[in-house]
């Protein structure tokens, strides 16, 4: 399983790669469990400042659950009753991961694969990528994050058009409606992702943790209510040594040296 769900930590950049190209990176039950445990581990690791999630190969990011190994009870109502609270892949509904997550979408992001994309913060896609919540076409429902997240991220009628037909959306259209941050030719995908990583690492890590924590925990509030929140993450960022370092570096006309403290 370690070989099928690969994890690398390079400095402050965590990379999670679904390496099951023989099934277009679909996740079976052990792979789902590994993904969930891995994101739990990432949450606990203070070294991580940004996560990149992708699929191996050039055809698919992830096409959802591996139905070739799942029985009816694992894809129907029994699966829903036992579904992970963090959603598909341990990410689609996760609300406690406070570092930025970039989806590197190199191909098909369908079903649970798209649900994971919806759980990411920044989405960079190849021109050949396609997105879709295709569960109704096999008698299922996108209950691991898709139904509840998609209408909150794109206009209602576009979301319902996808949810009620299983239609796919190509990458250029996804970028046009704001679902995707950037679309590039396949050969430039890593370059584009690296650009986003560089910009994230240029920011104070505690500031980014506080921003993401605030966004994740106040979307149900009015702007005035949200503005009044004083979370521990926010206070820690504002009182941090990095906060002082940022101002000092600006005054001294040099890049800041973030310590995460």
Enumerate the active-site residues: 115, 135
How would you list the strands of the sheet with 169-170, edge to edge? Answer: 60-62, 108-110, 130-132, 169-170
d(CA 83, CA 76): 10
Q: Alpha helices, DSSP H only, in the chain?
A: 29-44, 77-81, 112-118, 146-153, 156-163, 171-176, 189-201, 205-218, 223-227, 232-238, 241-251
d(CA 28, CA 30): 6
User: Which residue is associated with the tokens 């973030």?
Assistant: 258
Q: Look up residue 38 and give its two tokens.
A: 């891995």
């Amino acid at each position: 399983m370690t070989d099928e769900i690969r994890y690398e930590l390079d400095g402050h950049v965590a990379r999670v790669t679904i390496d099951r190209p023989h099934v277009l990176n679909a996740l079976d039950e052990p792979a789902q469990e590994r993904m969930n445990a891995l994101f739990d581990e990432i949450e606990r690791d203070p070294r991580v400042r940004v996560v990149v999630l992708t699929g191996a190969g050039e055809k698919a990011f992830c096409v959802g659950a591996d139905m070739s190994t799942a029985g009816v009870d694992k894809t129907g109502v029994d699966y829903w009753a036992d579904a992970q609270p963090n959603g598909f892949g341990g990410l689609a509904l996760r609300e406690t991961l406070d570092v930025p997550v970039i989806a590197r979408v190199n191909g098909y992001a369908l079903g649970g694969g798209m649900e994971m994309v919806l759980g990411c913060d920044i989405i960079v896609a190849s021109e050949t990528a396609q997105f879709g919540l295709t569960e109704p076409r096999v008698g299922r429902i996108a209950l691991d994050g898709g139904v509840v997240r998609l209408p909150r991220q794109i206009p209602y009628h576009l979301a319902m058009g996808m949810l009620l037909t299983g239609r796919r959306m190509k990458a250029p259209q996804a970028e046009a409606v704001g679902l995707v941050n950037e679309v590039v030719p396949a050969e430039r995908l890593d370059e584009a992702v690296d650009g986003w990583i560089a910009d994230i690492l240029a920011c104070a890590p505690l500031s980014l943790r506080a921003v993401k924590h605030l966004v994740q925990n106040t979307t149900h509030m009015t702007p005035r209510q949200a503005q009044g929140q004083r979370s521990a993450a926010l206070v820690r960022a504002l009182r941090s040594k990095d906060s002082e370092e940022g101002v000092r570096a600006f005054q001294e006309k040099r890049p800041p040296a973030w310590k995460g403290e």
